[in-house]
A and B are shown apart, each in its own frame.
Chain A
Amino acid sequence: MSLERKRQVLYTVLSPVIQGDTLWQVMCHWQTHYADKAQFEWNAFLSDCQRMADIGQQRTTVYRQLIALMLDNKAVLYDDPWPEMQAYQQRQSEHDAMQSTPVVAPPEDWGPVLTEVLAELFAQLRSDTIAVVRRYAIDMAGRHGLPSSLTYAFTQWLDQGKAMTLPNVPLTQLQQLFNYIYVALCECVGPIVADRMISQAVNVEYEQASTLNARRLLG
C-alpha cells in the first residue's frame, strides 16, 4: 500500500473524531514516526495519541476502522490531506522559530545546504544502511525535541526527494540532526568510514561555494 493511501485511510478515520490543529498534529506525528512502519504499529501509534480524550475514548473503534479500511482496497477515502499538513507544518515552523530564536535578522535557510550534503552522503550508502540511519536519526530527533517540521522535511526528502526548506529552523538544530546521522553511520559502517564520508560530503558542498558554508553543519 502506498504512503498516500495510508495517509488517506488515517485521515478518513480520524476526521470525524478530531478536528483542527489537533488533527494535523496527530497526522504529522504519524507521518514522522509511523508512516514507514508496518501495519501492526497502528496500535503503538494510537497509544501515543491516548492522552487525547477523543481518541482515548474511541480507541478500539478507531483501530478497527483503520484496519478495515486498510484491508478494503475499494473503500472510498477522503482526498490526500498532504497540502493541509504542509500548511500546518509551515505554521508550526514559524511558531517554533518565534519561540526558539528571538533574533531580529531574518533566519538563513540551511535546508538546501543540508539537502545537498545529505544527497552526497546518502549516495554512498546502501539502502539497508539508509534505513537504519533514517530510523535512528528520526528516533533521536523525536526524543530530543527537535521540531517536527525538521524531521518531517527530512523524511520527505528521503521518501520523495523533495529539497528541504527550513527557513525557520536554527542551525544548531540542523547540527544536532546531522550528528544523529553521524552516530548512526558510526554504528553502521564504523567511525573511520563515517568520518571520511561525512568529510567528503561536506567538502563537496563546501567547494560549490554556495552562500552558506556547509562546514558549519559540523558544529
Chain B
Amino acid sequence: MKFMISIGLLLVGSCVWADTEHAGERLLRLDLDMVWVAIAAILVFFMQAGFALLESGSSRAKNAVNVMMKNYMDVCVGTLVFWLVGYGLMFGVNTSGWFGMSHFAMHDGAGWDYLFLLFQTMFAATAITICSGAMAERTKYDAYLIAACVITAIIYPVFGSWAWGGIHGGSGWLADLGFIDFAGSTVVHSIGAWCALAGIIVLGPRTGRFSKLDGRPRTIPGHNLTVVALGGFILWLGWFGFNGGSTLAANADIGIVLLNTQLAAAAGAVGALLFSRLTGRPVLLTSTINGSIAGLVGITAGCAVMAPSFALVTGLIAGVISVYGALWLERRGLDDVVSAVPVHGFAGAWGTIAAGLFMKDDLWNGSQVLVQSVGVLAAFLWAFPVALLVFMAIDRTFGLRASTQHEQQGLDFTEHDEVGYPEFHQHATYHRETNV
C-alpha cells in the first residue's frame, strides 16, 4: 500500500514539475525572442548611421552636414510620426484590408507590443531615409522634413498594412492574396525608392549635373569614399538585424535567413563588378557597395523562403540591376545622388519577384510570381503618384528646391550655418562675418 502511495505521489509530483518546467520554458522562449528582436531593432537603428555615412560621403563636402542632418532627423520625425499615426494605420485592426484603424499613439500594451512597435519604427525610418540620399544637395531642409512626415504617416504605413497589416486583427488584401515580402524588399525599400523617384523628378537635377548642350551626364563625385565604404559595411551589419529580426523569434530559422543575407550581399557586389567589367566600365567603389546593398535589398523579401544557392542568384542579379539601373536613370536625365532608386526600387522589385520564383520546395510557381508582381505593381502605383503629388504640393507652397545661390554656397552653410570641414574646406564657397 505504501508502495502504491509513493508511486502515486511521485507521478503527481513529476506532472507538476513537468508543467512548471514547460511554463518556464515558454517564458524563457519569450524572453529570448524579446532579446533577439530588441538586438535586431538596435541593429536596424544602426543602419541609420550606415545610410548617413554612405549618403554624406557620396555628396560634396559643402553639403555633408545637411545630408547628415536629414538622416538624423529622419529617425527623429519618423519615430514620432510613426508612433502617432503610422503604426496604427499599418498594424492596427484592419477589417477593410486597406488600412488599420487602432493603436494610434500606443500607450498601453504588453511588453511585446512595445518592442514590436520599436522594431517597426526602425523599418519606417529606413523607408524614409532612402529619399534623403536620392534628393541630396539641392533640397530645402524644412521642405524635406515635411515630405518625410507625410511618407511616414501615410504612404509607407498604408502600403505596409496591405502586405503586413492585421497584427492586432484583420489582414491586408495583399497578404490575403499570399504576397510574400518577409522583411520588406517592397514594403520598406521599394516604397522608399518610389517616393525618392517622385522627389528627384519634381526637384530636377543638381546644377550642372547634365550638360545643357548634349544632355550628357557629368559625374559629381562624393567628397569621401572611405566614409561611403564604412557606411556600406555598417548597412551590411545592420541588415542582419533587419532580416534576422523579422523572424520575430529566436529560433532555428535565423540560420538560413542570416546565411542568405550574407550570400546575397556578397553576390550583389560580385554582380556589380562583373557587369562593370563585361560592359567595359570602370569598377567603382560606389557601384560595388551599391551592388552589395542591392543584393541585401533583393534578398530581404525571400531570405526565409529560399535555398542559399537561389539567394546567391537573387543577389547577383540585384547587383547587376543596381549598376544598369543607375545608367538607365542617368540616360533619362534623372539625378539620383546615391542611386537609391535602382538599389532600393529596382532591386527591391526584383527581389520580391525572386521570392516567388525561388521558393523552397515550390520553385517557379507561376501563380505565386503573379501575386508577387501584383504586390510590386501595387507598391509603385500607390507610392509614386501619391509622393509625386506631395512633392509637387510642397514645391508649390513652401518650395522644395534650394536656390542656386544656396547650391553655390552649399547647404551646410545656408541651411545650418555650420560646415562639416571648417579646417579642411578646399573651396571657398561661402562667406561668414567674423568679429576677429
Contacts and interface: CB of A to CB of B under 8 A. Distances in A.
Interface of A: 175-176, 179-180, 182-183, 185-192, 194-196, 198-199, 202-203, 206, 213, 215-219
A218 B211 contact: no
Nearest to B428: A199
Contacts of A196: 427
Nearest to A213: B431
11 contacts: A179-B404, A179-B408, A183-B408, A191-B206, A191-B218, A195-B427, A198-B429, A199-B426, A199-B428, A215-B428, A215-B431
Given A186-B208, A199-B427, A191 B220 contact: yes
A190 B208 contact: yes
Contact of A183 (B207, B428, B431): B207
B34 to A, nearest CB: 50
Given A191-B207, A192-B220, A215-B431, 17 more contacts: A176-B405, A179-B408, A182-B404, A183-B208, A185-B208, A186-B208, A187-B208, A187-B211, A192-B221, A194-B208, A198-B427, A202-B428, A218-B428, A219-B405, A219-B408, A219-B409, A219-B431
B212 interface: yes
A191 B337 CA distance: 14
Contact of A199 (B211, B212, B429): B429
A176 to B, nearest CB: 7
A199 B408 CA distance: 11
Nearest to A187: B212
B112 interface: no
Main secondary structure of the interface of B (DSSP, over half): loop
Contacts of A188: 212
B168 interface: no
Contacts, number: 66
B403 to A, nearest CB: 8
A155 B220 CA distance: 31
B207 A187 contact: yes
Nearest to A199: B427
A127 B404 CA distance: 24
B421 interface: no
B208 A191 contact: yes
B430 interface: yes
A108 to B, nearest CB: 15
A188 B427 CA distance: 19
A180 B207 CA distance: 11
A101 to B, nearest CB: 19
B431 A216 contact: yes
B220 A218 contact: no
B150 to A, nearest CB: 30
